[in-house]
Amino acid sequence: MTVPADHLAPVYAQWPLDVVDASGVYLHTRDGRRILDLYGGHAVAALGYSHPRLLAALDRQARSLIFQSNAVPLEVRSRAALRLTRFAGLGLNTVFFINTGAEANENALKLALKITGRRKVVAVEGSFHGRTAAAGAVTWGAAKKWYGFPQAPFDVEFLPRGDLEAVRRSVGTDTAAVIVEPVQGVGGALDLGASFLEALRVRCSEVCAQLIFDEVQCGMGRTGFPFAANLYGIAPDMITTAKALGAGFPCAALLLADHVASHLKTDDLGTTFGGGPMACAMIETVVDIIESEGLLANVRNLSRQIRDSCVVGPVTGTQGAGFLLGLRTRRPAKDVQKELLEQHDILTGTSGDPQVVRILAPYVLESQHVDALRAALISLPA
């Protein structure tokens, strides 16, 4: 057996980028290039790089208390929970902190199955919810591609996107939960739309199933609203979030409506690292920066500018919401992504849809950066 030269599991395709550091919205490479990052490490770097207030909070918390477990009550943890639940609104007043998006979904599904005593979960075609046993079971296409477990831990049914008839047919009194990304990320920056989400809300209430919004990618300000739930004015029973939540510090959260939280008692859920003081200091600071620097409005305005000005060159249209935007391309998206990076030093992403370039820009983006994207797209072959 040959051991990989870098000793890392060879499971990731790698971009031709030798990044040494970054600041603002730019990555710097060893050979001196300055790359405009419109992808943010899969939607994580929501405040760009080296944000001074984030660095100060990280330093302050590390010097004061780097870790204590959930057995020890901490002010910073309570402050982060209060700040996050107020940011979300919608009556989701209780938070359980964990570490990753998949773990958030795993816990949300576990709770829904336990509360309802049912064994079926409904998910949506094109969805991505993570790589663990439960999250992978509700991820579209995982069973064929990489799931790996001999069976799913519960029954799963997938709904076609936007199919209102299928909502009534598939979500019934045997359904514990419906899990849905209101704006699909990996599936292609695709906004599932108010009427489909509203139909899910109505049907879940009718049959007493839990509605889980997976906002791991589309939450924490990415749509220009605190959560996509706020954008659509729909209150789910649970929201899972991660990625932008720590703006680079690994953390995740499960937000619970009061009627869900009322089922919880000691030992029902647990984690060692989740809710650690470093993560909580970051969560508190990220919410503070988003609110005090007017970043939700910035995301909405610049998203509008991209939609209005970037349907040029190989781009035929846009989809998604806020800074979870898809540029629909005439040519394969991977070719357009490669050309933007190689010829114009602009980093974008692709998705499960081969004709969509995915934009997951930092919320601190400026109008001049959108102008640079437009100029680059115009120069590419249509």
Q: How far is the CB of 372 from ligand PLP (least distance, A)?
A: 26
- Tokens 């992403």 correspond to what residue? 349
Using CB under 6 A, pick the residue from 101, 182, 314, 349 that binds ligand PLP: 101
- Smallest gap from Cβ 99 to ligand PLP, in A, equals 8
Cα angle 52, 56, 59; round to 5 = 140
* Interface with ligand PLP (CB under 6 A), residue from 130, 246, 274, 362: 130
> Looking at beta carbons only, is 186 or 283 nearer to ligand PLP?
186
Closest approach of ligand PLP to the CB of residue 244, in Å:
11
CB of residue 240 to ligand PLP, shortest distance in Å: 7
- Rounded to whole angstroms, the Cα distance separating 343 from 347 reads 11
Q: Which of residues 285-324 bind ligand PLP (CB under 6 A)?
A: none
> Per CB under 6 A, does 349 bind ligand PLP?
no
Q: How far is the CB of 156 from ligand PLP (least distance, A)?
A: 16
Contact pattern from residue 81 through residue 100 relative to ligand PLP, giving x for each residue in contact according to CB under 6 A and a dash for the rest: -------------------x
The residue (of 154 and 369) whose beta carbon lies closer to ligand PLP is: 154
Choose the binding region for ligand PLP from 10-18, 168-176, 178-186, 374-382 (rule: CB under 6 A).
178-186
Q: 27-66: which residues touch ligand PLP (CB under 6 A)?
A: 42
User: What minimum distance in Å lies between the beta carbon of 8 and ligand PLP?
Assistant: 17
In angstroms, give the least distance from the CB of 353 to ligand PLP: 14
Applying the rule CB under 6 A, the residues between 146 and 175 that interact with ligand PLP are none
**Out of 216, 306, 325, 364, the residue judged to bind ligand PLP by CB under 6 A:** 216
Residues 217-236 that bind ligand PLP (CB under 6 A): 217
105 vs 74: CA distance, rounded Å: 25
Binding residues for ligand PLP, total number by CB under 6 A: 15
Among 40, 185, 275, 326, binds ligand PLP (CB under 6 A): 185
Q: Which of 51, 129, 161, 203 binds ligand PLP (CB under 6 A)?
A: 129
Q: Rule CB under 6 A: which residues touch ligand PLP? A: 42, 100-102, 105, 128-130, 181, 185-186, 214, 216-217, 242
